[in-house]
Structure 1
Amino acid sequence: MPCLDIHTELKNSKAYLKLHSERTVNNELILKTPLQLNAHTILKNRIVKSALSEALANADGSPSEKLIRLYETWAKSGAGLIITGNVMIDSNALGEPGNVVIEDETHLNALSQWASASKSDGSQIWMQINHPGKQALRGLNKETVSPSAVPFSLKLGALFSTPRALESEEIWKIIQRYATTAEIAKKAGFDGVQLHGAHGYLISQFLSPHHNQRTDEWGGTAEKRRKFVLEIYNAIREKVGADFTIAIKLNSADFQRGGFTEEESLDTILALEKAGIDLIEISGGTYEKPIMQLGQVKASTRSREAYFLDFAEKVRKASKVKLMVTGGFRSLNGIETALKTDQLDLIGLGRIFAIEPLAPQRLLNGEESLQTVKPLTTGIKYIDQLGTLEITWYTRQLLRIGLGKQPIPNENGLKSFILDLKDKGFGILKMRRLRSS
């Protein structure tokens, strides 16, 4: 296939790297330069399509034609790397209706089509794999689980059930589910996997002293709370071998009282680096503190655009691991400035891909994107503060692209919220019927 030829050429071409290094010196865009990620992976440039929730799977959890068409579109964007949205490791633990689920090789052909479509123009494709833990809408699954039975805040208690605390034996089974999903991703043709260890999902829950109040081998100290993610990494590496990329999206902090802190995050990064992780994507927040959805307002953030560059600087001083930052980038100048200061290796872009799917083409040509990511509102304060609109609105744009239509960059926020609420309700009812049949 053409995409395989391109990857082979990049991997075998030291001259290619040397040429682009020289161009950087001559004031060409750093964004365009390739990155030697590890011994077996060269990315053709520094733009990454970061994970976005698509909710476009078929009812059986397999990739739909709409999902494959969406990635065929993104493959033409010119991005060096494309990371999928949540792929769940357990059909009994969905994060939302429409998640792709991989438990075995039942849908291997469809998964291979998905990978092939994504790599058709020389991009790499990584699968983000996840377990939601307690962060699943009430009624979507038979039950939700977490390290400890810690309820949600009062504001979200009506939407999310109090989880059941996992037994140690169950934890080991979940670890193997991650490894199985990664192994199938490799077999399907994906170039790597990204663990979702941020935004309050299960790995994030284990890392957080707020959500993880255990006193056994899985909690009680920061080191024990890290055991879950390290065991997942080791189990995956054992299944996929040394030449398959494993990355993680990790919170810089949870921004919750008693939660995961920057100090613990840095220690976790150092432990993952020692274990052999290939890339850390820095993020932050949870459903209860949706920093990624609502953004930050510090002066340093406004001037530097990206949300987590301050923390990336701290990581850079302590670690040599490859870094990616997603969230807040709005201009070519902001992107290039971050790369020039060597605070990170890769630029993660998300929501712009939903309203201008080929935006990287313009950025790589030294031009600003045609569209700008702007704050969304329904006009209803309670809804807007939840941060969910920043997910659901963009998900609806992805559906349009998957249907072969153009996104609507100025779609009304309240209309989008109401339509998504209806779709989520039908989706939960459909899952209940499937479980009972």
Structure 2
Amino acid sequence: MSELLINQPLPLARGPALKNRLAKSALSEALGSADNRVTPQLVRLYRRWATSGAGLLMTGNVMIDRRAVGEPGNVVLEDDRDMARLREWAAAGSAGGSALWMQINHPGKQAPRGLNRENVSPSAVPFGPKLAPFFPVPRALTQTEIEEIVRRYGNTAALAKEAGFGGVQLHGAHGYLISQFLSPHHNRREDDWGGTAVKRRRFVIEVYREVRRRVGKDFPVGIKLNSADFQRGGFTEAESLGVIKALAKAGIDLIEISGGTYEEPAMQGLRKASSAAREAYFLEFAEKVRAQVKVPLMVTGGFRSLAGMEAPLRADALDLVGLGRILAIEPDAPARLLRGQETRHRVQPLSTGFKLLDGFGSLEVTWYTRQLHRMGRGREPVPDESALKSFVLDLRSKGVGILKARRLRA
């Protein structure tokens, strides 16, 4: 099926070409140990995905600071104590010829109550009423702390390169710290880090520059960025386009377009008719981006069929098709697609049967994370597992994880 565009390699400005146009987008594995180290389960999961045939595999959140973890089970990378395990992870994920990039992140205020000693953010803005019971009010970062966090991004990226990962991706979407700095809702500073769209984007530009300084001129660096937050007073498409143009000018190698936050999860529930017809959620925005920048674009969210993936490639609206949830229930899906076959399963909306629970942005995350844990144990995913069962078991698991984290801090 060589005529399929998804089979074509993708050259990048830095690093080797990707062998095809299918990419596994980052998924939250939460398979790190209680003290946030790489585990055999994580290596086993990526060894499984390495046989899928995808051209690019993105890891889930790797945190840059053990004082700021987004969820129990995150891996933290701030020194070389785990270098042997990291090298094993990097080797497992790239064994099939895929490029394996590490997604690096800081949660800011988006960490469950009790997990960290405190949560920080650009400004001390609480979550809205729906999520406020689960997330504490953050403390506003000082200038010195912001500069330290910037350095930490560079340090983690350098360690990822040393371990053998093929690139890094900055997580600038879905309400985490970079996303918080970009949002006028979360960032209400009036200093050099906020107050205008240009000042709000300073943080991500400084992070990129520090990462580039630490990894050198030949190592790929990408970013996952919201097209918009879809939140009143939040990050808009116009602001996102401004950030993308600034990052393109700075030299970013790959931009993955996504959208939404925990408070406004854009990739759940009903879609407008135009998005449903074209499958992917953010194609219209990708077309606007493509008209103004030439950086390779990856779009994630909503792809269901082979035709839906091929069409935007043929229209030159994107360069990489990002696949996420399908790889949690059908880990070999890319191999079928590259042979010109449809996937065996289709991603369907999840429902617990309780509207309040279904409204939590974390529902889909927790359900799919459980499937990743099954594969990490060497078992098969269960595509029809009860969403309510998953939600309840995840609450118990997170509670245990938070208690373990507290004991380790004591």
Q: TM-score interval w.r.t. the shorter chain?
A: over 0.9
Q: 2 CA distance for matches of 1:152 and 1:416?
A: 24
Aligned length: 410
Within 2, Cα distance between the matches of 1:44 and 1:198?
Answer: 26
Q: Which has the higher contact order (CA 8 A, sep 6+)?
A: 2
Are 2:375 and 1:409 aligned? Answer: no
Aligned partner of 1:346 in structure 2 is 320
Deviations 1:35-89 (A, max 9, x none): 0121433000000000000000012211100010000000000000000000000
Partner Cα separation in structure 2 for residue 50 and residue 209 of structure 1: 27
Residue of structure 1 aligned with 2:287, choices 313, 316, 332: 313
2:303 corresponds in structure 1 to: 329
Question: Unmatched 5+ residue regions in structure 2?
Answer: none
- 1:426 corresponding residue in structure 2: 400
Q: What is residue 125 of structure 1 aligned with on the other side?
A: 100
Rounded to whole Å, the distance in 1 between the matches of 2:97 and 2:397 is 35
1:2-29, CA deviations, whole angstroms, 9 ceiling, x for partnerless residues? Answer: xxxxxxxxxxxxxxxxxxxxx96xxx10
Query: What's the TM-score, normalizing by structure 2?
Result: 0.99
CA distance in 2 between partners of 1:397 and 1:39 (Å):
34
What residue identity is the alignment partner of 1:160?
A: F
Task: Report if aligned partners of 1:296, 1:307 keep a CA contact under 8 Å in 2.
Answer: no
3-state SS in 1 of match to 2:44: helix
Matched residue, 1:356: 330
CA distance in structure 2 between the aligned counterparts of 1:71 and 1:196, rounded to whole angstroms: 19
Instruction: State whether residues 14 and 219 of structure 2, in contact with CA within 8 Å, keep that contact through their aligned partners in structure 1.
Output: no
* One of 226, 236, 253 as aligned partner of 1:278: 253
SS of equivalent residue, structure 1 residue 291: coil
Give the corresponding residue for 1:182. 157
Instruction: Tell me the amino acid that sits aligned with residue 135 of structure 2.
Output: F
CA distance in 2, matches of 1:105, 1:416: 35
**What is the aligned-residue RMSD (CA, Å)?**
0.9
User: 2:241 is matched with which residue?
Assistant: 266
SS at match of 1:35: coil
TM-score (norm 1): 0.93
**For the Cα contact (< 8 Å) 2:14–2:253, is it kept in 1?**
no
Instruction: Quote the Cα distance in structure 2 between the aligned partners of 1:137 and 1:410.
Output: 28
Q: How is 1:20-39 mapped onto 2 (pairs within 5 angstroms)?
A: 28-39=3-14
The equivalent of 2:69 in structure 1 is 94
- Listed one character per residue, the Cα deviations across residues 176-214 of structure 1 (whole Å, up to 9, x for unaligned) are 000000000000000100000000000000000100000
Residues 349-374 of structure 1: CA deviation (Å, up to 9, x unaligned): 00011101011110000000111111
- In structure 2, how many angstroms separate the alpha carbons of the residues matched to 1:79 and 1:151? 39
* Unaligned runs of at least 5 residues, structure 1: 1-22
CA distance in 1, matches of 2:208, 2:403: 35
Q: Secondary structure at the match of 1:244?
A: coil
Change beyond 3 A, Cα 1:368–1:377: same
SS at match of 2:186: coil
* Letter matched to residue 149 of structure 1: A
Is 1:385 aligned to residue 370 of structure 2?
Answer: no
Native 8 Å contact 2:47 2:93 kept in 1 = yes
Q: Is the 8 A contact 2:330 2:381 kept in 1?
A: yes
What is the distance in 2 between the residues matched to 1:386 and 1:346?
A: 29
Counting aligned pairs with the same residue, the percent is: 65
Q: Is the 8 A contact 1:305 1:334 kept in 2?
A: yes
- Return the offset for 1:139: 0.5
Using the TM superposition, give the Cα deviation of residue 97 of structure 1 relative to its aligned residue in structure 2, in angstroms. Answer: 0.1
> Which residue of 156, 169, 173 maps to 1:194?
169
- The residue matched to 1:126 in structure 2 has which SS? strand
Which consecutive segments of 4 or more residues in structure 1 shift more than 2 A? Answer: none
Mapped contact 1:295–1:328 kept (Cα < 8 A): no
